[in-house]
Amino acid sequence: MTEAQSSVTLPVLPLDDDVVLPGMVVPVDISETEVRAAVDAARAGDDSAAKVPGIRSASGKGNHSRVLIVPRVDGSYATVGTVAVIDQVGRTPEGEPAAVLRGVARARVGGGTTGPGAALWVSAEVRTEEAPEGGYPGKVREAAREYRSLLSTYLQKRGAWQVLDGLQQLDDPGALADRGGYSPFLKVEQKLRLLETYDVAERLRLLSEWTREYLAELDVTETIDKDVQEGVEKQQREFLLRRQMEAIRKELNELEGKPASEEEDYRERVEAAALPEHVREAALTEVEKLERAGDSSPESGWIRTWLDTILAMPWNERTEDAYDISGARETLDADHAGLDDVKERIVEYLAVRKRREERGLGVVGGRRSGAVLALVGPPGVGKTSLGESVARSMGRSFARVALGGVRDEAEIRGHRRTYVGALPGRVVRAVKEAGTMNPVVLLDEVDKVGADFRGDPTAALLEVLDPAQNHTFRDHYLEVDLDLSDVVFLATANALETIPPALLDRMELVLLDGYTEDEKVTIARDHLLPRQLERAGLEPSEVEFTDDALRAVAGEYTREAGVRDLERTVARVLRKIAAGVALGERELPVRVGADDLRDHIGRPKHTPESAERTVVPGVATGMAVTGTGGDVLFVEASLADPESGAGGLTLTGQLGDVMKESAEIALSYLRSRGAELELPVGDLKDRGVHLHVPAGATPKDGPSAGVTMTTALASLLSGRPARSDVAMTGEVSLTGRVLPIGGVKQKLLAAHRAGIGTVLIPSRNEADLDDVPRDVLDSLRVHTVSDIREVLELSLEPAGTSEEARPLAA
């Protein structure tokens, strides 16, 4: 490429915020004073002075008027302008004055000078471009081909096919580069840089870079526009189809004589229901599926059932807790005698909740202050009925969930909706039946939950009963978060051993160890007797039960931790009276005293038997805890005849492994300390030892019978019978230490019921005596022991004593 330079004097035509490159033909509004002055000066000026060497005017125009178009950006003139020929001056269709200018060459603006008219005249150094004799170098031609390809792509996207044809006929790389000034996507600064760049290759490189960037942006924009357009079209199509479907359904209902029912319009029901936002979104999604599915689709039935369940849940229903603490305690006392531990825990919970509400701490971290209590105790002590009393004392709804025998994990978490007949889990159904989100839910018989190939329901209960997780409990059927953090869960169980430790760790344990005899009399008089009188069709004025009669029923006819058998016995007496009245054998009113019980229900079933069981050496009285509460058991020991050839230790009575080990420890201790204890244990190796625990059909296990077994063996070896009014419990070690055990309260209650006067417990269990009712402690002499020697000294009759056992000193 070659350049020709020359100096000329031209009037300045300022162009605001636009740039004209050589080769461009543009219309210019000349209504402004400066622009009009430049055009008039150019047309009136010296033609010869305005000529530019090497530049010809438009063919056939005969007009050689020229101006210098100088871009003015932000009020400042550029240093490089474009020499332009005025091809035509006239008016636009709107009547505005305008001129058509054609850029011909670049020019560097020099200093100002004088000229005709009011225009600004300057001297300028004009540079014209001519193709070199041998043609442009390969680098320039390659840049021109690249830019031409990019510009063709852009023109094809715009549909400018005529411009594309003209572009294909343009061979000069410099002219091709200057045609970039027509590109509408170039900014004024970019066009000005093209004007100031004299090198053709550099101009082509810049244009290729800018065009490539714009094409990339254009592709992204087109993709977004396409996606938006498709979304809008889809929404419009779905809207029209839905309206058509509604019209069709309406016509079908009218043809069948069924008017359109609002109950069937699930969308309106969902939108009208007060649902949490996450539940509303899930419900509307299912409504859309229902609207798209036909009535013949099996999925529509599942969706309707799910929507009915969602709409029936009390999402925003809550009952206000009754914060009358003294009134709550009175309600609990009126419904149940005893059970002070449970009552105190409920009162504490209400007091804390009341204080949190007063201080605005009702909801913290999305969790509310619910409670999880495990009521563990023998049957018949009122665990289940206690749940209703707790709900009534708190002013809450009550729901009961029976878990006994449940083996399917889906019973807790619900079934997947894909199964036929799928239902939510029992916990969700309990909340639904209660009608509030904060009921008292009783999980009855949680210790009798089983596990098989269908899963472990106790594992599913871990999340339900965990206060840190149950605020987002997710049932498999609902598949939406359910807040259970404000539910008061009461779990009942008879035995702790069958409850998994992880589940037990999530509950606050409250032990119900059974009733004393006085409490049973109170319960029978205030609760059981009125209920059974009503069931027997008798009035309280027609049958009177004395307290002595109730005490005799509780102590001699029923021996249990609870009161179920007591109630059945009272009911039996009332039925006997009703039958006698019907047969004319009795007349009302009837007064039932202790002496009258034999005529109604026969002889007593339970009488003290410790005296006759321990009359011979080798029998000791122990205490144990079973699934029905505390109980008194007897351990019997015997030695085989030396000539029989029997040896070793024989154990009978359906004993567990731990209890068998206790027997072996007892025998080993006596063998090693025989001389010290003055016991003839030397010939034990030649004689077999037999230990038996009666009630052989009942499984027994645990270490607490160790001291009883040791005492029975020591009594047999020494010939000293055990005291009949002494019962004992404790684990024994090989060194003769008496180790602590559990269930002290239940064992002492059992000893009290059996008429035992003195009990021996390990010294380290002395703190457990605080849980024993005061009237029971007052009727017992409790000795704490730490060594087996103390047990033998307190429990065995003195040497040489006959069958009449002397009373043990307190």
> What is 539-586 written as a DSSP string?
-TTTEEE-HHHHHHIIIII---SSSHHHHHHHHHHHHHHHHHHHTTS-
Total Cβ atoms within 10 A of residue 68: 25
pLDDT of residue 264: 60
704 catalytic residue (yes or no): yes
- Give the containing element (helix H, strand E) for 294: none
Q: Is the pLDDT of residue 738 over 90?
A: yes
Cα–Cα distance for residue pair 664/710, rounded to 1 Å: 10
Residue 262 has pLDDT above 50, yes or no: no
Query: Residue 232 and residue 234: Cα distance in Å, rounded?
Result: 5
Q: State the pTM of this model.
A: 0.61
Is pLDDT of 186 > 80?
yes
Give ∠ CA 134-138-143 in degrees, rounded to 5.
Answer: 125
State mean pLDDT over 613-641. 84
d(CA 482, CA 474): 6
Work out the pLDDT band at 804, boundaries 50, 70, 90: very low
Query: Which two structure tokens, joined as six digits, stand for 200?
Result: 């053709």
Q: Model confidence at 364, in pLDDT bands (50, 70, 90)? A: low
What is the pLDDT, as a whole number, of residue 294?
63
Alpha-carbon span 426 to 430, nearest angstrom: 6
* % of residues, the chain, pLDDT over 90: 23
CATH class, 2-130 region = mainly beta
Mean pLDDT score across all residues of the chain: 84
Least confident piece of the model among 86-100, 243-257, 478-492: 243-257
Q: What is the pLDDT of residue 681?
A: 77
Q: Give the CATH architecture of domain 610-795.
A: 2-Layer Sandwich (3.30)
Q: How confident is the model at residue 646 (pLDDT cuts 50, 70, 90)?
A: low
| Per-residue pLDDT band at 144 (split at 50, 70, 90) | confident
pLDDT band at 801 (very low <50, low <70, confident <90, very high): low
DSSP 524: I
The answer, yes or no, to whether residue 568 has pLDDT greater than 90, is yes
Q: Is 70 exceeded by the pLDDT of residue 644?
A: no
The rounded Cα 768 to chain-centroid distance in angstroms is 39
Question: What average pLDDT does the segment 188-196 reach?
Answer: 88
pLDDT bin (cut points 50, 70, 90) of residue 74 is confident
Beta carbons of 505 and 458 less than 8 angstroms apart? no
Which residue ranges are tagged as binding site for ATP?
377-384
Please tell me which residue in 65, 704, 718, 724 is annotated as part of the active site: 704
* Mean pLDDT (whole number) for 26-30: 89
Task: State the DSSP string of 163-177.
Answer: HHHHHHT---HHHHH
Mean pLDDT, range 155-160, rounded to an integer: 78
Question: Average pLDDT of 43-67?
Answer: 53
Highest mean pLDDT pick, 136-140, 147-151, 218-222, 784-788: 784-788
Q: Show the CA angle centred on residue 432, arms to residues 431 and 436, nearest 5°.
A: 65
What whole-number percentage of the chain has pLDDT above 70? 90
Domain 325-511 belongs to what topology?
Rossmann fold (3.40.50)
Give the residue, 418 or 476, on which the prediction is more confident. Answer: 476
pLDDT at residue 53 in the model:
46
Average pLDDT over residues 658-671: 91
pLDDT higher than 90, residue 569: yes
Higher pLDDT, 254 or 414: 414
What would the pLDDT profile of 525-540 be if each residue is shown by its tens digit? 999 999 999 999 999 9
Say which range, 204-218, 242-256, 552-566, has the weakest mean pLDDT: 242-256
pLDDT at position 6 over 60: yes
Q: Which of 389, 393, 747, 795 is catalytic?
A: 747
Identity of the amino acid at 256: E
Q: What is the pLDDT of residue 3?
A: 60
* Token representation of residue 12: 């300045």
**What is the structure's pLDDT at 240?**
83
- 378-419 pLDDT, tens digit per residue, is 888 888 888 888 888 888 999 999 998 888 888 888 888 878
Residue 648 Ramachandran class (φ > 0 left, ψ -120 to 50 alpha, else beta): left
Band the pLDDT of 610: cuts 50, 70, 90: low
Q: Is pLDDT above 60 for 809?
A: no
Whether 348 has a pLDDT exceeding 90, the answer reads no
Instruction: Give the separation between CA 377 and CA 341, rounded to whole angstroms.
Output: 12
What pLDDT score was predicted for residue 60? 36
Class of domain 133-260: mainly alpha
Average pLDDT rounded to a whole number, residues 767-780: 88
Lowest-pLDDT choice from 103-112, 128-137, 362-371, 723-732: 362-371
Helix (H, G, I), strand (E, B) or coil at 526: helix
pLDDT at 62 over 60: no
Assigned CATH for 517-601: 1.10.8.60
Report long-range pairs for 44-47 (Cβ below 8 Å, ≥24 apart).
Answer: 44/116, 44/117, 45/11, 45/115, 45/116, 45/117, 46/116
- In whole angstroms, give the CA distance from residue 324 to residue 344: 14
* Binding site feature residues: 377-384
Q: What is the pLDDT of residue 807?
A: 39
User: Is the pLDDT reported for residue 683 higher than 80?
Assistant: no
Q: Average pLDDT, stretch 195-211?
A: 88
In this predicted structure, what is the pLDDT of residue 530?
Answer: 93
